[in-house]
Chain A
Amino acid sequence: MKTRVFILITAVAGIFGFALLAGPRPINPFAMSGLDREILLFVRLPRLVVAALMGGGLGASGAVLQGVLRNPLADPYILGLSSGAALGAAAGIVLGVSFFGALTVPLLAFAGAIGTGLLVGLMGWRRGGIWPERLLLAGIGVGFMLSAVLMLFLSVSSNEGLRRAILWIFGDLGMSDWKLIPYGALLIGLGLAIAQRRAKALNTLMLGDDLSHSLGFSPRKETALLFVSVGLMTAASVALGGMIGFIGLLMPHIMRFFVGTDNRILLPASALGGGALLVVADLIGRTVMSPTELPAGMVTALLGAPYFLYLLRRRDVIG
């Protein structure tokens, strides 16, 4: 297991370094022009950090959520947080809110996602804690409702900005800059820290509430705490660069094949794997059709899905 973790960390570090220097126009770190330096520090590096944070947050929150809901199909977006983010951004644009300048859309998206998270958490709350089934259904219901409101906005408004807000929600890393990164890192780091501290409780929750209780945890409270961690990571990730599919749903499964089910290792592994995958996807997205950029979310799925299917097939042959 130690070797596997070591391999994973080395691979991720290598990927980050490579993605920073490679691209349609590679940068030689030993012979950088002024322009190269500017591009490296203010375009590529923030973009890489945002991709790593988003992918990491999604990977880890997917792993947490699949454990809490005891459902291998759970995806962080299933809680409706992304719909809330889209609606928040769109509503702000329609109402002409712009007092945060360039941070307006991300802030509105974050507010929408957190607001949705609170609503879903409230609906999932009963008798002193959160119940997984209620949470899942509340998330799906609230998500549908918010998407419908968003569609209503889109149908009745000819505001061009609205369409663009929707476009933004579908994922864009190209405009990443340093401004958002401290907040994103703080929120995703906080979410990851909570989840990591409660990883033992999450392991027991996967066995069922009664066993979790028997092993010395309060399943309702642990579920609530873990939901807060998922909410922070997902909302921050959507606010950083919109929605990126695949990672939250399938990276935890890929990592389970690789490091096993124990969440104390799985959570950081999913974060590392998710971050690395999004960084690679973004590298490919900005390279293959340069100077046109492909959406990273599409590339993650194109890259990740076949690998996942391969693992699935191989495991079936052995098991």
Chain B
Amino acid sequence: MLRVFLMVLMLFISVPAMADPPKRIVSLAPQITEILYALDLGDNIVGVTTFCDYPPEAREKPKIGGMSNPSLEAVVSLEPDIVVMTTDGNPKEFQARLETLQIKHYVFTARRISELPDAIRDVGAALGVKERADEFAGELQRTLNGFRDKKTVAPLRVLFIVWPEPLVVAGPGTAVDDAIELLGHENIAAGARLNYPKYSLEEVLRQAPDAILIGGMGQEDMKKVSVGLLDRLKNTSAVREGRVYYMGDGLFRLGPRVVDGIEEMADVLDEACK
């Protein structure tokens, strides 16, 4: 009886202790890992996914599996103080398993660029680094506002290609779409009903984008696999007049580097306007 009482007491005592940053954090997504590093929590991370490759030192951390298939056993064996996961990529079932095992976890829900600053404030508060998070989020907000205020004079109709064959593009509700809008341009796939729709080639020809962006890691590889598609689109003004640009994957991760992605997009679209 006394032991039970003490255990219950311990539970209450441990709550205010969370005001200090947890010592053992497991991150279940690459953008989470990047956010944690940005909040100076890098040293406290004890486990990451196989996809967490930024910053470079994140690759040295113990791996707990992929994003869609993290290993519960690996996570548990790391004895984390908290697991940070996301609704965009981690299975819901995994959260349920963590709950039954009474492993403390935080779920990151932001999917849009506009939600990112507040989401960082929230995760910072939950991890006991509120001040650093507020500061970082404020900076991020100012940068984003800067992009918006620098609105372009000549809006372009843009298509952002995620993969050429089959043709998958960035549709509404994605960070890419947000970035295009933030920069004052128009995403021709904004009317699709999916985030990353398999898009009709016929529609691309009809809507005739002014600029085509092809995103993804490994630009050389993307160039190779895009040859066929660009040949099919050779009569669009974007291809004919050479407004096809290869970009990095900054906008595919809703983390601190989303700013770099927007920057990169702003640069190529500025060039396209000339």
Contact = CB atoms under 8 A, between A and B. Distances in A.
A–B direct contact (CB < 8 Å):
yes
Given A105-B165, A174-B201, A292 B231 contact: no
A282 to B, nearest CB: 11
A174 B163 CA distance: 13
B228 A292 contact: no
Identify which of A23, A158, A160 gathers the most chain B CB atoms within 10 Å of its CB. A160
Nearest to B203: A291
A25 B206 contact: yes
Contacts of A98: 224-225
Nearest to A173: B166
Interface residues of A, number: 31
Interface residues of B, number: 34
Interface stretch (A161-169, A260-268, A307-315): A161-169
A292 B199 contact: yes
Given A161-B221, A172-B165, A175-B201, A292 B192 contact: yes
B178 to A, nearest CB: 19
Contacts of A167: 163, 166
Interface string A18-53: 000001110000000001001100111000000000
A286 interface: yes
B167 interface: yes
B198 A293 contact: yes
Contact of B228 (A24, A102, A289): A102
B235 interface: yes
A294 B229 CA distance: 19
A100 to B, nearest CB: 11
A290 interface: yes
A286 B165 contact: no
Contacts of A102: 165, 227-228, 231
B104 interface: no
Contacts of B201: 43, 174-175
A298 B50 CA distance: 32
Contacts of A160: 216-218
A39 B205 contact: yes
Given A293-B199, A293-B200, A38 B166 contact: no
Nearest to A34: B235
Given A172-B198, A291-B200, A35 B205 contact: yes
A23 B50 CA distance: 43
Interface in B202-224: 202-203, 205-206, 216-218, 221, 224
B151 interface: no
Contacts, number: 85
Contact of B200 (A161, A164, A286): A286
B274 interface: no
Nearest to A93: B225
Contact of B202 (A105, A172, A286): A286
A177 interface: yes
A42 B200 contact: no
Contacts of A39: 202, 205-206
B232 interface: yes
Identify which of B193, B201, B218, B228 gathers the most chain A CB atoms within 10 Å of its CB. B201
B248 interface: no
Interface string B221-265: 100110111011001000000000000000000000000000000
Contact of A43 (B165, B194, B205): B205
A105 B51 CA distance: 25
B138 interface: no
Interface string B34-67: 0000000000000000110000000000000000
15 contacts: A23-B202, A25-B202, A35-B206, A98-B225, A167-B163, A172-B166, A174-B167, A174-B198, A174-B201, A175-B166, A175-B229, A177-B232, A286-B202, A290-B200, A295-B198
Given A168-B166, A289-B193, 7 more contacts: A101-B227, A164-B163, A164-B165, A174-B200, A174-B201, A175-B164, A175-B232
